[in-house]
């Protein structure tokens, strides 16, 4: 590890992404492979990726991995993963066994928040809430540069709280009256994730218009985006009420909707308890790379 190399892996989404960083934070190499939908194949795919990086670098760098869901130390298993084949499995232990005890893992949204705090849109802030708006909805909380994990390892999991003011907000009730209740994979109904994820936006658009457009196509539909923006502002206002962050950083594919961060920042004040506009809403500086970069930050930069 003489060059301060670190490996970061992002396990979320349809692709597993791996990067190798040098001691100054520069990207030495990057690779993406399809995400298996099977536990054993996931472990072996990650081990193979790391093995190729080891061979390329001539070293055994430490490995940080951003995962869906959370690692439960007391049971030494994963929980709450939308990649459901990981739930109840000893992912950290199996990866450490395969990779010579050099692996740390954290929720992928936590890794995103960590990256954007240290080297992104939240740099210098006291409290940062990082938001993933993609195939799922996740979040991470960073206080003074350190991740907040929580007693149950679910700090920041706002995607599995109920969508606030559903069908009761005068500004949007007319639209929301046309939306059916939505079961979530977590077993609850009308979670934030079922409305604010990419599939959630597509479902809203389809229920209101009958159009089966993709989230990327819907981004240009002003009516659906307007409703989505207000739902997001309402949901984030609840986060401000609880932790009052200095900065909310939006990431994931839907964060690329033009003007989303600015519009959400303007609307949050309608729904918060006492909102003077001090909380800034920003788009992630590192885009899709934030999660995998944050996984590298699970290991300190060698001094």
* Residue 207 and residue 77 in one domain: no
pLDDT band at 20 (very low <50, low <70, confident <90, very high): very high
Residue 67, pLDDT above cutoff 80: yes
* Residue 170 and residue 270 in one domain: yes
According to the model, what pLDDT value does residue 302 have?
A: 60
34, part of any domain: yes
According to the model, what pLDDT value does residue 220 have?
A: 82
The string of pLDDT tens digits covering residues 209-247 is 999 999 989 988 889 999 999 999 999 999 999 999 999
* Residue 90 and residue 125 in one domain: no
The string of pLDDT tens digits covering residues 113-124 is 999 998 899 999
The string of pLDDT tens digits covering residues 185-219 is 889 999 999 999 999 999 999 999 999 999 989 98
113, part of any domain: no
* Residue 146 and residue 278 in one domain: yes
Report the half-sphere exposure of 96 (CA within 13 A, side-chain side).
Answer: 10
pLDDT mean across residues, the chain: 92
Residue 2, pLDDT above cutoff 60: no
Number of folded domains in the chain? 2
Work out the burial of residue 58: count CB atoms within 10 Å of its CB; fewer than 13 is exposed, 13-18 middle, 19 or more buried: exposed
Work out the burial of residue 117: count CB atoms within 10 Å of its CB; fewer than 13 is exposed, 13-18 middle, 19 or more buried: buried
111, part of any domain: no
99, part of any domain: yes
Find the mean pLDDT for residues 72-101. Answer: 95
114, part of any domain: no
116, part of any domain: no
* Residue 40 and residue 126 in one domain: no
Q: Quick one: tokens of 273?
A: 């308890």
**CB within 8 Å of 147: residues ≥ 6 apart:** 106, 110, 113, 114, 140, 141
The string of pLDDT tens digits covering residues 273-301 is 877 779 999 999 988 788 899 999 898 76
CATH code at position 250: 3.30.420.40
* Residue 75 and residue 125 in one domain: no
According to the model, what pLDDT value does residue 277 have?
A: 79
* Residue 131 and residue 248 in one domain: yes
According to the model, what pLDDT value does residue 1 have?
A: 43
Looking at per-residue confidence, does 301 or 65 come out higher? 65
* Residue 135 and residue 53 in one domain: no
DSSP 8-state symbol, 138 = E
* Residue 215 and residue 161 in one domain: yes
* Residue 139 and residue 94 in one domain: no
112, part of any domain: no
* Residue 22 and residue 128 in one domain: no
176, part of any domain: yes
* Residue 128 and residue 268 in one domain: yes
Give the structural domain span for 131.
121-284
């Amino acid at each position: 590890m003489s060059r301060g190399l670190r490996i970061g892996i992002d396990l979320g989404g349809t692709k597993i992404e791996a990067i190798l960083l040098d001691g100054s934070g520069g990207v030495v190499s990057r690779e993406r492979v399809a995400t298996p939908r099977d536990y054993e194949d996931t472990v072996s795919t990650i081990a193979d990726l790391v093995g190729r990086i080891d061979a390329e670098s001539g070293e055994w760098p430490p490995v940080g991995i951003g995962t869906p869901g959370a690692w439960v130390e007391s049971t030494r298993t994963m929980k709450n993963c939308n990649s459901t084949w990981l739930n109840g499995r000893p992912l950290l232990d199996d990866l450490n066994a395969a990779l010579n005890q050099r692996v740390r893992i954290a929720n992928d949204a936590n890794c995103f928040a960590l990256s954007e705090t240290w080297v992104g849109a939240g740099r210098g802030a006291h409290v940062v809430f990082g938001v993933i708006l993609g195939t799922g909805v996740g979040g991470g909380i960073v206080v003074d540069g350190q991740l907040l994990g929580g007693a149950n390892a679910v700090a920041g999991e706002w995607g599995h709280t109920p969508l606030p003011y559903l069908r009761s907000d005068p500004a949007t009730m007319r639209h929301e009256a046309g939306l059916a209740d939505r079961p979530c994979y977590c077993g609850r109904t009308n979670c934030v994730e079922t409305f604010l994820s990419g599939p959630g936006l597509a479902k809203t658009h389809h229920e209101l218009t009958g159009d089966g457009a993709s989230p990327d196509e819907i981004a240009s539909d002003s009516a659906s985006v307007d409703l989505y923006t207000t739902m997001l502002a309402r949901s984030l206002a609840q986060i401000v009420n609880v932790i009052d962050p200095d900065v909310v950083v939006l990431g994931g594919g839907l964060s690329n909707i033009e003007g989303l961060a600015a519009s959400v920042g303007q609307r949050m004040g309608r729904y918060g308890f006492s909102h003077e506009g001090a909380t800034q809403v920003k788009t992630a500086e590192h885009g899709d790379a934030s999660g995998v970069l944050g996984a590298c930050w699970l290991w300190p930069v060698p001094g």
